[in-house]
Amino acid sequence: MSQHALHSVGKNTWRSLPCSLSELRLDLTLGCGQTFRWRETGEGHWTGVMGGRVWTLTQNEDTLWYHVYHCHGNPGLINGRKRKTAAGLKGSGKKSKETIAVKEEEKAEMLDTVSSEEDKKEEELLRDYFQLHVKLENLYEEWSSADQHFNHTGNIFRGVRMLRQDPVECLFSFICSSNNHISRIQGMVERLCNTLGTPLCKLDNTHYHDFPSIQTLADSSVEARLRDMGFGYRARFLWRSAHLIMSTLGPDWLYELRSTPYLQARDALRTLPGVGLKVADCVCLMSLDKSEAVPVDTHVWQIAKRDYSCAAGIGKKTLTDKVYQEIGDFFRKIWGSYAGWAQSVLFCADLKKFQKLKEVPDSKR
DNA sequence: TATATACCTGG
DNA sequence: CAGGTATAT
């Protein structure tokens, strides 16, 4: 029997949020390369780590379903206090027969209170992670009326949504992404977590770990260990960035960039080794609330030239800082303050693994 | 300000 | 060559 939760089997352990497929498509949103931590563990079931817990998510037409694992030894925290598990409470309630009735009632109540607090917190964590307060359908409408090409692609690729990721995970994952492809980045991030992250729980022989802390990444042994794990020259970038943050910038520095204006935050990130314009924009867009940040890689550059006849950098071999900025400005002019979100839709639509979605269904031929 | 080149590793 | 960055010219 599968330890990964299946919605068809254990419905009572699942909670839900109303959410349509045009507001969120899990397969596209979790598989388009903005995060490297989610795997499809069952048909339409996505399992990953978020907010220090292990989750499985699935959805149907109008509902997002989620299951949170509360594994033994890692019960999660409530206001810094350990969650009281049903198992723990039962264990302490075996003293005398007479008191059992009362005690059980008290405990049931306590468990209720505790778990409803916990439920609320988990729901909030999920809403925050998927930024559900942002009405994606409305944005698609705006982008579509401003842009014919988006109108076409957006109709096929609905529900591609920016995540609000943890800045530490986002930064160090994207330092791994330079001159690299998704499948290898996924493997690297997985090894990073498995070796240096706090273990959370084990499901069907898969161990889930939290993303390592900056403190852990700043340890002097890290560069060599990562090199041994096949990180190549990125091992040094990771360690040096972590070390710079711990020794000079301070552990809160990254989080404070959430309330710093976009260009200022991007420049700040670029002072870290291994962080250029592209990586800085990814971190800005995907974890620092900068919806206008447009990460321009060679792929997005192609899209600008091919689908928008964008003249920026035409005839140039490499993406200079100047051309990079021009392409971002070009898209911001079309799409406005959520340009980064729009860019991710087109980026997603261009990925090889999603090309099959572009095939017209037989019924429409 | 703008190219060229090296950098790790694996598909 | 791949969803770049740092360095030297």
Could you report the per-residue pLDDT of A3-16, keeping only the tens digit for each? Answer: 999 999 988 899 99
Residue A83: band (very low, low, confident or very high) from pLDDT cuts 50, 70, 90: very low
Is there a domain that residue A89 lies in? no
Nucleotides of C under 7 A from a protein CB: 2-6
Is there a domain that residue A153 lies in? no
Concerning whether A278 is annotated as a catalytic residue, the answer is yes
Find the range with the poorest average confidence among A28-32, A113-117, A151-155, A210-214. Answer: A113-117
Q: Give me the CA A312–C1' C4 separation in Å, rounded.
A: 19
pLDDT tens, residue by residue, A154-199: 999 999 999 999 999 999 999 999 999 999 999 999 999 999 999 9
Percent of chain A, pLDDT > 70? 87
Q: Are residues A274 and A190 in the same domain?
A: yes
- Among the candidates A260, A286, A312, a domain finishes at A286
Instruction: Check whether residue A316 has its CB closer than 7 Å to nucleic acid strand B.
Output: yes
Nucleotides of B under 7 A from a protein CB: 1-5, 7-11
CB atoms within 10 A of CB A86: 12
Is residue A274 left, alpha or beta, with left meaning phi > 0 and alpha meaning psi from -120 to 50?
A: left
| Nucleotide minimizing C1' to CA distance for residue A298 | C3
Phi/psi at A179 (5° precision): 50, 50
Contact call for residues A200 and A209 (beta carbons, < 8 A):
yes
CATH number at residue A203: 1.10.340.30
Q: Which residue is nearest to nucleotide B2 (CA to C1')?
A: A320
* Average model confidence (pLDDT) across chain A: 90
pLDDT tens, residue by residue, A100-125: 444 555 555 555 566 788 899 999 99
Which residues of chain A (193-252) touch nucleic strand C at CB < 7 A? 233, 237
Q: Are residues A223 and A304 in the same domain?
A: no
Is there a domain that residue A91 lies in? no
CATH number at residue A313: 1.10.1670.10
Q: Are residues A217 and A128 in the same domain?
A: no
Q: Give me the CA A105–C1' B8 separation in Å, rounded.
A: 61
Q: Are residues A69 and A108 in the same domain?
A: yes
Q: Are residues A203 and A109 in the same domain?
A: no
Please report, in angstroms and rounded to a whole number, the separation of the first and last CA atoms in chain A: 42
Is there a domain that residue A90 lies in? no
Q: Are residues A196 and A310 in the same domain?
A: no
Instruction: Check whether residue A178 has its CB closer than 7 Å to nucleic acid strand C.
Output: yes
* Per-residue tokens: A213: 């802390």
Instruction: Check whether residue A232 has its CB closer than 7 Å to nucleic acid strand B.
Output: yes
- Among the candidates A259, A286, A313, a domain finishes at A286
Q: Which residue is nearest to nucleotide C3 (CA to C1')?
A: A297
* Per-residue tokens: A108: 């049931």
Q: Are residues A192 and A256 in the same domain?
A: yes
Q: Are residues A347 and A242 in the same domain?
A: no
Q: Are residues A113 and A11 in the same domain?
A: yes
Q: Are residues A353 and A266 in the same domain?
A: no
Range of the domain at A1: 1-84+96-133
- Among the candidates A286, A306, A341, a domain finishes at A286
State the average pLDDT over residues A227-239.
97
| Nucleotide minimizing C1' to CA distance for residue A237 | C5
CA gap A216, A197 in Å, rounded? 8
Q: Are residues A267 and A322 in the same domain?
A: no
Q: Which of A278, A316, A356, A364 is catalytic?
A: A278
Instruction: Check whether residue A282 has its CB closer than 7 Å to nucleic acid strand C.
Output: yes
Is there a domain that residue A154 lies in? no
**pTM of the full structure:** 0.91
Instruction: Check whether residue A191 has its CB closer than 7 Å to nucleic acid strand B.
Output: no
Is there a domain that residue A114 lies in? yes
Indicate the number of domains in chain A: 3
Is there a domain that residue A151 lies in? no
State the average pLDDT over residues A26-31.
97
Is there a domain that residue A320 lies in? yes
Q: Are residues A302 and A238 in the same domain?
A: no
Q: Give me the CA A284–C1' C2 separation in Å, rounded.
A: 23
CA gap A47, A66 in Å, rounded? 10
